[in-house]
Amino acid sequence: GLISIAGGKYTTYRVMAADAIDAALEDVGAATPPSVTEHIPLVGAEGYHAMVNQVDRLAARAGLPVWRMKGLLDRYGSLTEQLMAMSEADPSLLEPLDGAAEYLRVEIVYAASHESAQHLDDILARRTRISIETPDRGTEAARPAAELVAPLLGWDAERVDNEVAAYSDRVQAERTSQEQPDDREADAARVAAPDTRRVAVGRTLG
């Protein structure tokens, strides 16, 4: 009774999602309408084009270069307004993140405050692309990012150290896996790093 999707691309994943829902509904009955998910705008899509048309004005108002504002709009769409509101309360959030200068500090805080990030690797590898867009895979940005979100997530100094160490272990495991001769050994090397979801302050959860 389980229907799942494996793989997929950005260009087709919404069609695949609709197909999966429609397949699941075949056993429910004819009274259920087809899925409409592929017609629902993504979060941040509504109002996006209007903001792009005003990118020069938005950049000037925020005191950012136009290319910075374009980058935010590309990543967050109309939700960029939320990031700008956060930066009005703390202008330092519009400064580049140490170790990942293409990203702003506000993006790191936003990941924790609005996108449910719970661990450092959530932020660097899932909410942002820092892990794949920096030459060092985000290791230099790890501590600055962790210290930024620590107050929001209730991390003390020990937890910050543990999150940074866990992220460094992840990166090292990825590098080691890419040096292995076959997929089996590569997979074994990658999973050698502890799962951060099971790591608390100074200990591994059972």
Mean pLDDT in order along the chain per 10 residues (206 residues): 77 82 79 79 93 98 98 98 97 98 98 97 96 97 98 96 95 91 87 71 44
pTM of the entire predicted model: 0.84
Q: Determine how many CB atoms are found less than 10 A away from the CB of residue 108.
A: 28
Q: Please give the Cα distance from 71 to 184 (Å, whole number).
A: 38
- Name the helix (H) or strand (E) containing 50: helix 48-53
Helices 80-89/55-62 angle, 10° precision: 20
Q: Please give the Cα distance from 107 to 75 (Å, whole number).
A: 10
Q: Which pLDDT belongs to residue 206?
A: 39
Give residue-wise pLDDT tens across range 172-201.
998 999 889 998 988 888 888 777 766 554
- Name the helix (H) or strand (E) containing 172: helix 157-177
Q: Which pLDDT belongs to residue 199?
A: 58
Phi, psi for 18 (deg, rounded to 5)? -65, -40
Q: Which pLDDT belongs to residue 189?
A: 82
**DSSP assignments along 123-146, one per residue:** IIIIISSHHHHSTTTTHHHHHHHH
Q: Which pLDDT belongs to residue 119?
A: 96
